[in-house]
């Protein structure tokens, strides 16, 4: 399934039906008087946030949304039917902007939250509404009002408890694949992950949370470099951040410099991101080079007041402590958070302790260095 997080669409609410001009002409009712009914109201276009949706792909191919018009009024005091409302489901975290003015109309951040993006026109009054003692046979009626028309821009910001951020090829996708049932694309070249991936990590009954794998961020991302602002904005919705660093063969790069560069890009994009609770993890500890880089970087991280948690997804070591630390922060920041999960999407706790099988999970460099490569396309 293709991941789409930005679309521009046109919405047209239904027009109201016209009021009718009619008179009763029944055999035993002389001077029956006016009997034209009102027109029906046009249908509204309504957006509803739904937890089961994770992409705006449906609207990418459906660029125009319209609701039916209301029916015209009829004789014999008959009102026209109202047009049916057009209910459109979008992912939780969708922001709706007026494409012409740039105004934010609504932020659909809660499940089942609804918002009328275009209101249907009111139906016109029939001539029976205009009868008075002085005008018992009015011959006028109102036309229906036009429904609202809008050009909208929709942006999706993923709603996740934990956002995994870092430079390309540090092992973010491998981590989320190891701790959940998400299957991001994993390979030994930069920018393997081109779209955010969601997974549910589970430490047992009622101990699960959603993790988002944010595509690799590089220096200058806040100014549009690499994948740029398109994916930095997804970090805004994460309650806790997991910074992943690792060994890189490039002599001009080191884990501490990568971490500081990542903080700089987030600060440039949105300074409030630095106030989010965060954990730093060092990946690929099954590699001798990564082990050496980890030990060498510890003093520098200590000077920054940062505690680094090492892990290796390939050997399944260090995963449980990281997940427990993330869960502890989530519970501390929101003690009343719902911890139950309706879907069994998390990795089983015993999976995180299983020994690594080199034959089942061949070693590869880069972002795929810690787990088996997946042939499934990114979603």
Share of the chain above pLDDT 70, in %: 75
Classify domain 6-156 at the CATH superfamily level. Answer: GTP1/OBG domain (2.70.210.12)
Tell me what pLDDT residue 3 has: 54
- Does domain 160-368 fall under CATH 3.40.50.300? My reply is yes
* Residues near 218 by beta carbon (within 8 Å), at least 6 away in sequence: 167, 168, 225, 226, 265
Structure tokens at 197: 């991936």
Structure tokens at 309: 């948690």
| pLDDT tens, residue by residue, 127-171 | 999 988 888 889 999 999 999 999 999 888 766 778 888 887 788
Residue ranges, comma separated, of all CATH 3.40.50.300 domains in the chain are: 160-368
- Rounded CA-CA distance 198/191 in Å is 17
Tell me what pLDDT residue 328 has: 87
Tell me what pLDDT residue 290 has: 86
- Burial grade of 197 (CB within 10 A; 0-12, 13-18, 19 or more): buried
Q: Is the pLDDT of residue 68 over 90?
A: yes
Structure tokens at 176: 């989320």
pLDDT bin (cut points 50, 70, 90) of residue 6 is confident
Q: Which range is most confident: 22-36, 111-125, 204-218?
A: 111-125
Q: Is the pLDDT of residue 67 over 80?
A: yes
- Mean of the per-residue pLDDT values of the chain: 77
Tell me what pLDDT residue 43 has: 95
pLDDT bin (cut points 50, 70, 90) of residue 179 is confident
Cα–Cα distances in Å, from 175 out to 50, 105, 292, 310, 371? Answer: 27, 37, 20, 12, 8
pLDDT bin (cut points 50, 70, 90) of residue 192 is very low
| pLDDT tens, residue by residue, 311-354 | 888 888 888 898 889 888 888 877 655 434 433 334 444 444 44
94-98 and 104-108 strand pairing: antiparallel
CA proximity to 177, closest of 278, 316, 76, 60: 316
Per-residue HEC secondary structure of the chain comes to CCCCCEEEEEEECCCCCCCCCCECCECCECCCCECCCCCCCCCCEEEEEECCCCCCHHHHCCCEEECCCCCCCECCCECCCCCCCEEEEEECCEEEEECCCCCEEEEECCCCCEEEEECCCCCCCCHHHHCCCCCCCCCCCCCCCCCCEEEEEEEECCCEEEEEECCCCCCHHHHHHHHECCCCCCCCCCCCCCCCEEEEEECCCCCEEEEEECCCCCCCHHHCCCCCHHHHHHHHHEEEEEEEECCCCCCCCCHHHHHHHHHHHHHHHCHHHHHCCEEEEECCCCCHHHHHHHHHHHHHHHHCCCCEEECECCCCECHHHHHHHHHHHHHHHCCCCCCCCCCCCECCHHHHHCCCCCCCCCCCCHHHCCCCCCCCCCC
Q: Is the pLDDT of residue 16 over 90?
A: yes
Is 241:162 a contact under the CB 8 Å cutoff? Answer: yes
208-213 and 160-165 strand pairing: parallel
pLDDT bin (cut points 50, 70, 90) of residue 70 is very high
Q: Is the pLDDT of residue 379 over 60?
A: no
Taking residues 108-130, report their average pLDDT: 92
| pLDDT tens, residue by residue, 286-299 | 888 888 888 988 99
Cα–Cα distances in Å, from 276 out to 252, 344, 377? Answer: 29, 28, 31
Tell me what pLDDT residue 110 has: 86
Residue ranges, comma separated, of all CATH 2.70.210.12 domains in the chain are: 6-156
Tokens 């209101």 identify what position?
119
Taking residues 17-43, report their average pLDDT: 87
pLDDT bin (cut points 50, 70, 90) of residue 96 is very high
Taking residues 121-128, report their average pLDDT: 93
Tell me what pLDDT residue 17 has: 94
């Amino acid at each position: 399934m293709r991941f789409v997080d930005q679309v521009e669409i046109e919405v047209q609410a239904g027009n109201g039906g016209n009021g009718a001009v009619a008179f009763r002409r029944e055999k035993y009712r002389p001077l029956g008087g006016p009997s034209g009914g009102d027109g029906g109201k046009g249908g509204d276009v309504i957006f509803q946030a739904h937890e089961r949706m994770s992409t705006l792909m449906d609207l990418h191919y459906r660029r125009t949304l319209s609701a039916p018009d209301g029916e015209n009024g009829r004789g014999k005091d008959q009102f026209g039917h109202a047009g049916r409302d057009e209910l459109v489901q979008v992912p939780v975290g969708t922001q709706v902007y007026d494409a012409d003015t740039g105004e934010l109309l609504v932020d659909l951040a809660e499940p089942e939250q609804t918002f009328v993006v275009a209101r249907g026109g009111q139906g016109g009054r029939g001539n029976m509404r205009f009868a008075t003692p002085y005008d018992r046979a009015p011959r006028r009626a109102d036309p229906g009002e036009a429904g609202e028309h809008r050009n909208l821009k929709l942006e999706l910001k993923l709603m996740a408890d934990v956002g995994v951020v870092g430079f390309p090829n540090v092992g973010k996708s491998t981590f989320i694949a190891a701790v959940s049932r998400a299957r991001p694309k994993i390979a030994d070249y930069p920018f393997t992950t081109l779209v955010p991936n969601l997974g549910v990590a589970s430490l047992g009954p009622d101990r699960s949370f959603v993790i988002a794998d944010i595509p690799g961020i590089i220096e200058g991302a806040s100014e549009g470099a690499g994948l740029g602002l398109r994916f930095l904005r997804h970090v805004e919705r994460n309650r806790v951040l997991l910074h992943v660093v690792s060994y890189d063969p490039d002599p001009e790069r080191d884990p501490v410099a990568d971490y500081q560069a990542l903080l700089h890009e987030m600060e440039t994009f949105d300074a409030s991101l630095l106030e989010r609770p965060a954990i730093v993890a060092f990946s690929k500890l099954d590699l001798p080079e990564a082990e050496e880089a980890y030990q060498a970087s510890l003093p520098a991280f200590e000077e920054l007041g940062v505690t680094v948690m090492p892990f290796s997804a390939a050997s399944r070591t260090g995963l449980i402590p990281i997940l427990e630390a993330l869960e502890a922060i989530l519970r501390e920041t929101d003690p009343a958070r719902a911890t139950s999960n309706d879907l069994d999407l998390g990795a089983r706790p015993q999976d995180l302790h299983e020994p690594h099988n080199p034959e089942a999970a061949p070693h590869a460099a880069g972002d795929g260095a810690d787990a088996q490569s997946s042939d499934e396309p990114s979603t």
